[in-house]
Amino acid sequence: MNLLLFTEFLLGLPMIAGSLLSFLSVAAAKKIMSEPAMMVSPNNIGVTHLKPCYGLDTGLEANLRSFCSQRYGGPIQIILCVQRENDTALPLLHSLAQEYSDLVTVVITPSPPVVNGKVQNMIGGIAYAQYDHIIITDSDVRVNEDYTSLMMESFRSDTTGYACSLYKIVNADTFAEKLEALSFNADFMAQVLFASWSKAAPFCLGASMAFRKSDLNAVGGMTAMLPYLVEDYEIGKRITALGKRAVLVPHVVDMRITLKHFRDWWQHQVYWDMNTKAANYMGFVASVLTRAVPFALILATVRDADPAATIMLGTTVLIRSVCAQMVMLKLGDLDIRYLWLLPFRDCLGLLTWCTALLRRNYIWRGIKFRLRADGTIIPRNGCDAAALGADTST
């Protein structure tokens, strides 16, 4: 009996902690998103947009064009960088460079992924940056015309080290894409909002971030990020170590994804969990205590779905779903037709957590890599990461 009570107590902890986190995430979303991003006047600081590209992502042309039509008071440079001379996106990139010859530069740096492929790509591009202020966004990001001004407003203060915007996945069509949208819009973004509001954990969102190139150079430059799986977190950690602050811009950009099959979502979610583990191992381990729904389901199973356990399960699911919906609405995600999948996604999330906890291999762009215990990448083909970075940046 004592063992059973102890087991029920252990299972109840994540239910309580996870439900509390849901409430606090709503409070954080209301606080942060009620403070609209400031844009006092057009900024005149020169900005380089760095866009690492790989293949023809869904909606790539519209995504890139959204950066070519920015309403901004200062000069803008857009660098579209790729690693393959036969990249399928190159015809589009060259077409945009011809159309927007005063804005767009295409940089091709042959560099087969050996360590962090995204960093290898960005090393080639950032070498051509004309301005000190750099904004990095993933190729699947689409923005409105005020995005540059909103991001740069944070840099009116010299104490700002880097700024990140929030993002949400839109136009989720397939079952896998709906799971992915819930993973980001209802789960990850809620965690980011809570972390920023409470200062409970550092954050740096590589899908949409800005910093000074001079600050990056002061902490080793982009080449120093080559061995790290989570290069955005490492950049943020190093820049804040200079005594500068992180800013979360209360602005949400859109991301468009293509996931056709369940296994695509599974692989990406495990990869994402491994990113979290590599960036903050203890925080990742402790996050199991916030997974309310799967532990409520386990508790109901242990108690043979008796009335009390069933009520607790239903209450936990209700709290999680309502709070997630409120956060999603604050992010501007009005498509909540697939919110009913959230309890299922949360249960799968516990399984991907377990998989990521035990796994040392991850898959990026269809290529398998191996991680060290400290979260750095073991170079493929025995290539030295530092030497690769030195060669690539020339």
92-124 pLDDT, tens digit per residue, is 999 999 999 999 999 999 988 888 889 999 999
Domain co-membership, 200 together with 338: no
Q: Is residue 99 part of a domain?
A: yes
Amino acid at 237: K
Residues 267 and 263: their CA atoms lie apart, in Å, by 6
Identify whether the C-beta of residue 169 lies closer than 8 Å to the C-beta of residue 257.
Answer: yes
| Rounded (10°) angle between helices 342-358 and 292-302 | 100
Model confidence at 136: pLDDT above 50: yes
Q: What is the pLDDT of residue 37?
A: 60
Longest Cα–Cα distance in the chain: 75
Q: Is residue 152 part of a domain?
A: yes
Model confidence at 381: pLDDT above 70: no
Q: Is residue 379 part of a domain?
A: no
Domain co-membership, 255 together with 128: yes
Q: What is the pLDDT of residue 254?
A: 95
Average pLDDT of the residues of the chain: 90
Domain co-membership, 13 together with 82: no
| Rounded (10°) angle between helices 189-198 and 307-330 | 80
Q: Is residue 391 part of a domain?
A: no
CATH assignment at residue 264: 3.90.550.10
Q: What is the pLDDT of residue 39?
A: 57
What domain range includes position 103? Answer: 39-277
Domain co-membership, 186 together with 321: no
Domain co-membership, 197 together with 313: no
Q: Is residue 382 part of a domain?
A: no
Total number of domains in the chain: 2
Model confidence at 138: pLDDT above 50: yes
Domain co-membership, 150 together with 236: yes
- Out of 216, 248, 277, pick the residue that ends a domain: 277
SS3 137: strand
Q: Is residue 299 part of a domain?
A: yes
- Out of 277, 295, 311, pick the residue that ends a domain: 277
Domain co-membership, 306 together with 212: no
pLDDT-derived band at 291, boundaries 50, 70, 90: very high
Q: Which of 10, 3, 1 is nearest to 298 (CA)?
A: 10
Which residues, other chains included, contact 24 with Cβ-Cβ below 8 Å and sequence gap of 6+?
194, 197, 198
Q: Is residue 87 part of a domain?
A: yes
- Strand blocks (E) in 274-315: none
Q: Is residue 381 part of a domain?
A: no
SS3 278: helix
Q: What is the pLDDT of residue 5?
A: 81
Output the pTM of the full model. Answer: 0.90
pLDDT-derived band at 60, boundaries 50, 70, 90: very high
> Would you state the structure tokens that stand for residue 203, as one six-digit string?
């954050």
Domain co-membership, 283 together with 175: no
Domain co-membership, 289 together with 161: no
Structure confidence by residue, pLDDT tens digits, 3-47? 778 888 889 999 999 999 999 999 999 999 987 666 554 567 899
Region of poorest pLDDT, from 87-101, 202-216, 260-274, 363-377:
363-377
